Structure 1
């Protein structure tokens, strides 16, 4: 029997003898190829109560984000033990109103109800929602008080949220959406991972990796 065969059999034996949790972390996913490691990890997020923070970077006008949303929603239902959040990216001046719209939804407590409907309006119904007036009319048509929308959309709190995007995009050099960060230290995208479904598999691997390490940072 050759030395290479003996070495291969020894490796197989080692894998079989490893605990199931450790085996799950032996993966074809490779740092630098399938995911990236953040240069500056995010501060630990106490608000997550021990859950791993997963953050999606998205843009309302992005068709890839729109088509990814059903996959992401299904994935989220399978991961109730994950702390999930979103960050609307700033790709050019036209993206800033969409970012304001998203954080307005969050502040008004309607993001779970209207997030998917905004995607549908833009990509399915031909309503781009590119101006504050168009956004206001949409929100009012969906039960939001117009004066509350005006106040929140133009508030300093929403402005601070939008400005905070810049720092987060520096931490993860996001060049394409949708992208996902895990625990404030890893990130991947459909472009990096090879496809959006594979991106979610990479995210699963990274979540397991963080849990195996016994620590969780913010996103």
Structure 2
């Protein structure tokens, strides 16, 4: 069902090479085809509404775990005219339970607890090295931390509504040309490309948001 795609580093090229930075106070400038690419057939997650910033991620991606604090910084820095969303990528069978868990949490947790639980699960898996890979393991974790009924969590995670959502997501991710995580997509028009570090990734997002705010100029 899910197309197998290269993992992890395709979207985020971490470099040890020195790079010139703009003078302090100067606006960063990035180039189409380098730090970001224009999407051939633009498509937003939500057809209407605010400018969108979408993080394509996975709980199974250690780079996403490392990026999580920077994602929180980015969300706080984005203007109110911008909507932030996440899409969990199910690039292969091993990553499918992580996508299922995210959408089960989205449906069963209070809205104001979703981001908090995402951050905590990343830390539990990658910092505390808890065995959180199978959907049942993550269901128990959500039960212990948020009081969600474990059986209900598994039922929702493996149910038809979440299955349809993941299938829809997978088509959109492929249309955007995303083949690794974390990848940031702005307004369905641009995706991050050759990024040196997470600070630059956030700067690219802000650059593209500003570009869209000015009508794509």
Q: Distance in 2 between the 1:60 and 1:45 partners?
A: 23
- The answer for the alignment partner of 2:121 in structure 1 is 118
State the distance in 1 between where 2:173 and 2:47 align. Answer: 21
Tell me if 1:106 matches 2:106: yes
> C-alpha distance in 1, partners of 2:133/2:47?
36
The C-alpha deviation readout for 1:26-84, integer Å capped at 9, x for no partner, is: x6311001101111111583553xx2100001111211111111111012112141201
User: Which TM-score applies when normalising by structure 1?
Assistant: 0.78
Look at both structures and tell me which one has the larger radius of gyration over its CA atoms.
1
Aligned length: 187
Deviations along 1:84-136, whole A, 9 cap, x unmatched?
11111123210111010111111113422311111011101111311122112
Provide the C-alpha distance between the structure 2 equivalents of 1:44 and 1:138, rounded to a whole number of angstroms. 29
> Are the structure 2 counterparts of residues 166 and 122 from structure 1 closer, same or farther at C-alpha, using a change threshold of 3 Å?
same
Taking the aligned partners of 2:115 and 2:45, their CA distance within structure 1 comes to 25
More helix by share: 1
1:176 and 2:188 correspond: no
Residue 189 of structure 2 corresponds to 185
- Relative to structure 1, the CA distance from residue 103 to residue 174 in structure 2 (aligned partners, 3 Å threshold; closer, same or farther) is same
Structure 1 residues 152, 44: closer, same or farther in 2, change over 3 A? closer
Q: Find the aligned partners of 2:126 and 2:151 in 1 and give their Cα distance.
A: 27
Unpaired segments ≥5 residues, structure 1: 1-22
Structure of higher RCO (CA pairs closer than 8 Å, 6+ residues apart): 2
How big is the alpha-carbon RMSD for the aligned residues of Structure 1 and Structure 2? 2.1
Mapped to 1, the partners of 2:86 and 2:43 lie a distance apart of: 15
Q: Is the 8 A contact 2:78 2:206 kept in 1?
A: no
Separation in structure 2 between the aligned mates of residue 162 and residue 54 of structure 1, nearest angstrom: 19
- Residues of 1 paired with 2:69 and 2:177: CA distance? 25
Q: Could you list the runs of 5+ residues in structure 2 that have no partner in the other structure?
A: 1-25
The reply to whether residue 32 of structure 1 matches residue 36 of structure 2 is no
User: 1:165 Cα deviation (Å)?
Assistant: 2.1
Query: TM (normalized to structure 2)?
Result: 0.79
Structure 1 residues 135-173: Cα deviation after superposition (integer angstroms, max 9, x where no partner):
121111121122431331122111111111221121222
TM alignment of 1:1-219, pairs within 5 A: 28-43=29-44, 45=46, 47-48=48-49, 51-81=50-80, 82-109=82-109, 110-142=113-145, 143-189=147-193, 192-213=194-215
Determine if contact 2:29/2:207 at 8 Å carries over to the other structure: no
Runs of at least 4 residues off by over 6 Å:
none
